[in-house]
């Protein structure tokens, strides 16, 4: 399976993606130091959907609150264990349909750029779980110590396409203990979650914050994330920033117990929006875009 390596022309930063394993980013290094959490590795992601690196969560990010949803009167059933649907510990469909999906086609490649697309409407299995024909395109560039991921959704039928996807970058600072990592987060709205990780409807304001991560465990949802908002983790002489450049008004912060990783997840809509509403649409004839970047300081 082809691993595509991108190199920043002006620095020692490199990145790797595997289009045939769901267009997952598996590595981001600075002078050989790995800055993406490897967890069980990309082959476990390919076989079991165990996330690592930078996976795309598509067409919904995180979990749905049930095994079905309705859009404009059309009811859809998604069954964990079939059609690419995987379940979380509570049996809820999680992270969409494309974990390890092999159908991506590389459309452009150079020393520091990779473009790939997926014709979602050409696969009846995918359409069974998300019946909105469209073309999904991801363009990745690496320059000036910045990895930028630009996503475009283009409707290919007369139906608008709900935008509920996201990405899940696992970040690490291997030269510094987690107890010394500092995380910076912007002002946004905190979404109270229930024990299943679903929004309860209760919210509170989250002020711009800088705090030591330490042993704190996060699995928290947010919305009202402003365009160009910046999340960051720093420690020692290193700082990694995630910029929500456009199209990502929601986020999840994930820092599981016992793991040397923290995630700032760009999301086109909050968790379970496909069932609850509150998402944008890619209208026919009007491609929708979203961009985030990871910058190394």
In the chain, the percentage of residues whose pLDDT exceeds 70 is: 100
pLDDT band at 20, cuts 50/70/90? Answer: very high
* pLDDT per position as a tens digit, 234-267: 999 999 999 999 999 999 999 999 999 999 999 9
- State the distance between the two ends of the chain, measured CA to CA, in whole angstroms: 32
pLDDT of residue 37: 95
pLDDT of residue 43: 80
Report all structural domains of the chain as residue ranges with CATH numbers, in order of start.
4-296 (2.70.98.10)
pLDDT of residue 1: 85
The stretch 85-102 carries a mean pLDDT of 93
pLDDT of residue 160: 97
- In 144-287, which ranges are E strands? 146-155, 161-163, 166-167, 170-171, 182-185, 188-193, 199-206, 209-212, 218-223, 229-235, 238-246, 250-255, 262-267, 280-282
pLDDT of residue 13: 98
DSSP letter at 143? E
pLDDT of residue 48: 74
pLDDT band at 46, cuts 50/70/90? Answer: confident
Q: Which residues contact 49 (CB under 8 A, 6 or more apart)?
A: 86, 95, 99, 100
Lowest-confidence pick of 3-7, 8-12, 80-84, 275-279 = 80-84
pLDDT band at 44, cuts 50/70/90? Answer: confident
Q: What angle do CA 68, 70, 76 make, to 5 degrees?
A: 50
Lowest-confidence pick of 99-103, 130-134, 149-153, 268-272 = 99-103
pLDDT band at 165, cuts 50/70/90? Answer: very high
pLDDT at 143 over 90: yes
pLDDT at 49 over 80: no
Cβ burial of 32 (10 Å; 0-12, 13-18, 19+) is exposed
The stretch 108-125 carries a mean pLDDT of 97
Cβ burial of 274 (10 Å; 0-12, 13-18, 19+) is buried
* pLDDT per position as a tens digit, 176-228: 999 999 999 999 999 999 999 999 999 999 999 999 999 999 999 999 999 99
pLDDT of residue 83: 82
pLDDT of residue 234: 98
Rounded distance between C-alpha atoms, residue 161 and residue 279, angstroms:
10
Nearest to 209 by CA among 196, 227, 222: 222
């Amino acid at each position: 399976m082809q691993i595509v390596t991108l190199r920043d022309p002006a620095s020692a930063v490199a990145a790797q993606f595997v289009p045939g394993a769901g267009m997952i980013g598996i590595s981001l290094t600075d002078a050989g130091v790995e800055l993406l959490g490897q967890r069980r590795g990309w082959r476990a992601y390919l076989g079991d959907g165990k996330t690592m690196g930078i996976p795309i969560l598509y067409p919904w990010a995180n979990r749905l609150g049930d095994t079905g949803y309705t859009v404009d009167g059309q009811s859809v059933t998604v069954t964990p264990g079939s059609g690419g649907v995987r379940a979380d510990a509570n049996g809820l469909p999680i992270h969409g349909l494309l974990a390890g999906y092999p159908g991506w086609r590389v459309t452009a490649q150079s020393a520091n750029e990779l473009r790939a697309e997926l014709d979602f409407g050409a696969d009846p299995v995918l359409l069974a779980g998300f019946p909105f024909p469209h073309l999904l395109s991801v363009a990745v560039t690496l320059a000036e110590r910045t990895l930028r991921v630009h996503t475009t959704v283009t409707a290919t039928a007369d139906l608008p396409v709900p935008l509920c996807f996201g990405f899940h970058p696992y970040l690490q600072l291997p030269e510094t203990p987690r107890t010394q990592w500092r995380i910076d987060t912007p002002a946004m709205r905190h979404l109270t979650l229930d024990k299943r990780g679903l929004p309860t409807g209760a919210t509170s304001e989250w002020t711009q914050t800088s705090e030591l991560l330490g042993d704190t465990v996060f699995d928290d949802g947010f919305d009202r994330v402003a365009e160009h908002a910046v999340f960051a983790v720093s420690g020692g002489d290193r700082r990694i920033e995630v910029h929500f450049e456009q199209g990502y008004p929601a986020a999840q912060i994930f820092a599981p117990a016992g793991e040397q990783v923290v995630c700032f997840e760009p999301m086109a809509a909050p968790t379970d929006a496909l069932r609850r509403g509150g998402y944008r649409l890619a209208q026919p004839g009007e491609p929708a875009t979203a961009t985030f970047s990871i910058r190394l300081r």
